[in-house]
Amino acid sequence: MSPSKIYELTQKQREAWRLLEDEKYRRYLFDGGARSGKTDGTIAWLIYQASRFPGARILVARWRLDHARTTLWNLTLKKLLPPGCCGARYLEAPMECRFPNGSVIRVGGLDDAERVDKILGDEYLHIFINEATQVNPKGPRHWLHQVGVQHILPDPDSRKAVPLPDASAWARLHWTPYDNPYLPEDAIRTLEALPGIMRRRMLLGEWCNNEGMVYDGFDPEIHGFDRLPEGSEQWKRIRSIDFGYTNPFCCLWGAVDGDGRLWVYRELYERGKRADELAPRILQAEGGIGETVADPEDAEARAVLASAGLPTTPARKAVIPGIQAVQRRLAMAGDSRPRLMVSSHCPNLVNEFYEYRWEEHRDGRNDREAPRKEHDHAMDALRYMVMAVDSPATYSAMPLPGTGGGGDGILPREEWDGDAPEEPF
């Protein structure tokens, strides 16, 4: 007779099994803190399913193959169902656990396109994606949070929230380490002692992540707004541009109030469009802009804009001083309000706040502190704007009257003149 094994479920795992057995649900999100029993409870149920339904094919996967092999194959599946227990046979090369009734549990990684195509070429009774948030950065803007928690279709623009058509088929269960009675007390104390954001994510299981974020102080609840305040029509206006074609072209509009607070209220974020195609849209969006600062390294694009009647000032491009300037504005001022506000009508700018991260330091290397060169197009434009507002040059490139917009004449800032801009919303 083959050996057997008894696995005793926790109360939370029993609750999860009841959901998994409920026929009205077909998609499940088990989210929460670390070491709470989510993975063990789920794989135990999949083992039960494999033994219950002859010929069942079940997929268990993680983003990285090496992580799947270590955590799912060796440390979880073999722990819950040791080789030989109930007749289970383990095939190492394909990472398949085969049952006497013909059922198979396959473990795989999703970090290789060819491997994914091969895995998904089969049909499965169940698919379990472990640590699904590894596919994208963690946080409340993750597509899985939008689908499984908010029950809306994934969209980076929160204003376009569309109800999930099959929301009734989703079940969600939130977990914390306190749900695992077998977790040692010292493990709980270690999680409780974690700093700020890590404690919220690892212990309390909140959807938040600022690990490696350049602007980890950004919070849309604090820095966000929907409409410019009354009286903003008279505020000084500024534009900033980061050029791109394959990568996004980004233009931001900002207004500075009487207290020096900068309100970024509009964005143009486009791929596959030339500067001459976008110039009319920028000019038509709003008049009365005092200055437009742009990436100084693309002289050709700046010349194209100037010939279209949109002259620009070379932006101050120093990265670290610019980042520090933005960070200072995100901090609370003496009136308990930040000095930088970002409109909800700028979804790409908001998204890049979450995606813009520092380069990871490699072991044994004293790497120079620098942000990654990705998800940085709106971030660059924002940095140009903040540097222009906080460190204005004495003179900037504005066409003198009668020069046709492309001449060499310049006017001091205090002599700029223009019509009062219209309310943008």
- CB of 151 closer than 8 Å to CB of 342: no
Q: pLDDT-based confidence at 417, cuts 50/70/90?
A: very low
pLDDT of residue 404: 35
* DSSP sequence for 280-333: HHHHHH-S---EEEE-TT-HHHHHHHHHTT---EEP---HHHHHHHHHHHHSB-
pLDDT of res. 408: 30
Task: Say yes or no to pLDDT of 424 above 90.
Answer: no
d(CA 125, CA 268): 45
Cα R_g (the chain), whole angstroms = 27
* Contact call for residues 389 and 256 (beta carbons, < 8 A): yes
pLDDT for residue 208: 72
The candidate with the shortest Cα–Cα distance to 217, out of 326, 322, 318, is: 326
Tokens of 381: 């434009």
pLDDT of residue 13: 97
Number of residues written out for the chain: 425
**Segment 336-347 mean pLDDT:** 90
Specify the residue for token string 């222009």: 388
Task: Identify the band that residue 148 occupies on the pLDDT scale cut at 50, 70 and 90.
Answer: confident
Report the relative pairing of strands 170-175 and 27-32 from DSSP bridges: parallel
Mean local confidence (pLDDT), 263-288: 94
Element (H, E) at 129: strand 126-129
Average pLDDT, the chain: 84
Q: Does 141 or 203 have the greater pLDDT score?
A: 203
Among the listed ranges 151-165, 222-236, 299-313, 331-345, which one has the minimum average pLDDT value?
A: 151-165
> Residue 241: which pLDDT band, with cuts at 50, 70 and 90?
very high
Select from 114, 63, 72 the least CA-distant residue to 96: 72
Q: Which of 86-95, 118-127, 200-209 has the highest mean pLDDT?
A: 86-95
Share of the chain above pLDDT 70, in %: 84
φ/ψ (deg, to 5) at 304 = -60, -45
Q: What is the CB neighbour count within 10 angstroms for residue 196?
A: 10
